[in-house]
Amino acid sequence: MTANTINIKNRKAKFEFEILDKFVTGIKLAGTEIKAIRQGKASIAESFCEFQNNELFVINMTVEEYSHATHFNHDPKSARKLLMKRRELKKLEKEVKNSGLTIVPLRLFINERGLAKLQIALARGKKLYDKRETMKDRDNKRRLDRIKKDYK
């Protein structure tokens, strides 16, 4: 896989959360972690972001062990520091503490310079009825597209 084809998404995030604001952050990684990500061996499906000592960390992000590494391999589920400007961090921390919002990772990708980036979002959890409404909208759109296709 080339650098531009790595695009690992968190599909559940848009279903379970209402996305309010998006940010792109860098990630502090070990050498074997970036090699594993470049092979596409990472998952952000059940991960979330959390503040620890005024720094933002992504928790529960899985980066599988690099196959060609020796005993210097990394821990697959370790917390990884996100790299953002101090001003953005303070804004996010204030929103999370005051409004009860959460920060969820949406997408893990490699940019054109070959660096791993994580797109995160400030989000509000959806209620069950909101999720049902999303499913209805998706089904209605699918039906409408089928009808349009038949008439063409």
The residue-averaged pLDDT of 126-134 equals: 80
Q: What CA–CA distance (Å, rounded) separates 20 from 39?
A: 31
> pLDDT: is 110 or 66 the higher one?
110
In the block, tokens 């990394």 appear at: 74
Q: What CA–CA distance (Å, rounded) separates 117 from 5?
A: 13
> pLDDT: is 18 or 152 the higher one?
18
* DSSP per-residue string spanning 91-109: HHHHHHHHH--EEEEEEEE
In the block, tokens 């209805």 appear at: 136
Band the pLDDT of 27: cuts 50, 70, 90: very high
Q: What is the pLDDT of residue 71?
A: 66
Q: 0.85 cut: is pTM over it?
A: no
**Could you tell me the domains of the chain?**
3-126 (2.40.280.10)
Phi-psi region of 139 (alpha: psi -120 to 50; beta: other; left: phi over 0): alpha
Q: What is the pLDDT of residue 3?
A: 46
Q: What is the pLDDT of residue 85?
A: 92
Q: What is the pLDDT of residue 24?
A: 93
Residue 82 has pLDDT above 50, yes or no: yes
Question: What are the structure tokens assigned to 82, written together?
Answer: 């996100």
> pLDDT: is 30 or 147 the higher one?
147
Residue 75 has pLDDT above 80, yes or no: no
